[in-house]
Amino acid sequence: MMDKLSQLRAMTAVVADTGDINAIRQFTPLDATTNPSLLLKAAQQAEYQPLIERAIAFAAKQGGSDSEQVGLCCDHLAASIGREILQIVPGRISTEVDARLSFDSAATLERARRLMDLYAQMGVAPERVLIKIASTWEGIKAAEILEREGVHCNLTLLFSFAQARACADAGVTLISPFVGRILDWYLHNTDATSFAPEQDPGVQSVRRIYHFYKEHGYRTTVMGASFRNTGQIEALAGCDSLTISPDLLAQLAEDKGPLPRALTTSADAGCAAAPISECDFRFEHNDDAMAHEKLGEGIRKFVADQYALESQLQARAKNLEAV
């Protein structure tokens, strides 16, 4: 019998949730996705040091204030790492907009366009890039504009059904509902100490979104993310796409057991649901304590890693000047 990773690939697009080139080479996923946390880890790897030096030099050549240069340096590095990954994967790379802009549609648009311009300068076709944006109301509205401009978007840090509805209304290319972080919240805030995969609240959230999209004919891809164990992954087999960390990919590759399809769709889809208003979005999202807390926590975590990455690049730039 085939291993579970091979079985999963037969029904679901498998994406590598890492910026580690070696791990991507090992598991040969269709796509790959990065975020500030993964870029911070990647920037410490030896193979990326030349990319860091080029990013520093590029930003310095453009001039501007220190903050402008370090922001440009981070974006150039993100696009450079994305380009390297695209030499391996046949599909797309997801690259994230600075999380500090999560509540500013205009600034998100500006940064997304800059990332796409950097990719274009590096010879990367636009259809091979997904711009990752936090699923705030402002982020979703920015993504709606970008999609009309031909820029495909991956709406991340998605925890509530209200976020999923608004993303579908906006016509975004892909959403990343966070399975593991939802589970984390329930384990921390309820008396439960564990959940079977079928009762896992993160799994149930993705299943609800997936069936809603299919029943109403939305074309937005559902990509489950942030997994804590292979049981969650197996319970979502058949989902459009799943982004999986290298350690869990390895566990699936070593397991020779059967992997039945867990998600299926009916042949006929109904009409689209009524769009969600901004007022309803904000009320419903904030009425969900888990989603409200985890979105804020996720943005804060990405911002902290963004600051850490910038500090690392600034220190590296000073070392290069001293040489």
Active centre residues (catalytic):
132
Pick from 230, 212, 228: nearest CA to 220: 212
Provide the 3-class DSSP secondary structure of residue 97: coil
69/129 Cα distance (integer angstroms): 23
For 34-53, b where at least 16 C-beta lie within 10 A, e where not — what string? bbbbbbbbbbeeeebeebbe
What is the amino acid identity at position 66?
Answer: D
Secondary structure (DSSP) of 249-288: HHHHHH--S---------S---PPPPPPPHHHHHHHHHHS
107/98 Cα distance (integer angstroms): 10
27/195 Cα distance (integer angstroms): 28
Q: Which residues contact 2 (CB under 8 A, 6 or more apart)?
A: 256
299/157 Cα distance (integer angstroms): 8
Pick from 184, 230, 181, 238: nearest CA to 207: 238
Provide the 3-class DSSP secondary structure of residue 176: strand
Q: How many CB atoms lie within 10 A of CB 27?
A: 19
Helical spans, DSSP H, in 20-48 = 21-27, 36-42
176 within 8 A of 293, measured Cβ to Cβ:
no
C-alpha 301: how far from chain center: 14
Tokens at residue 207, please? Answer: 């299943």
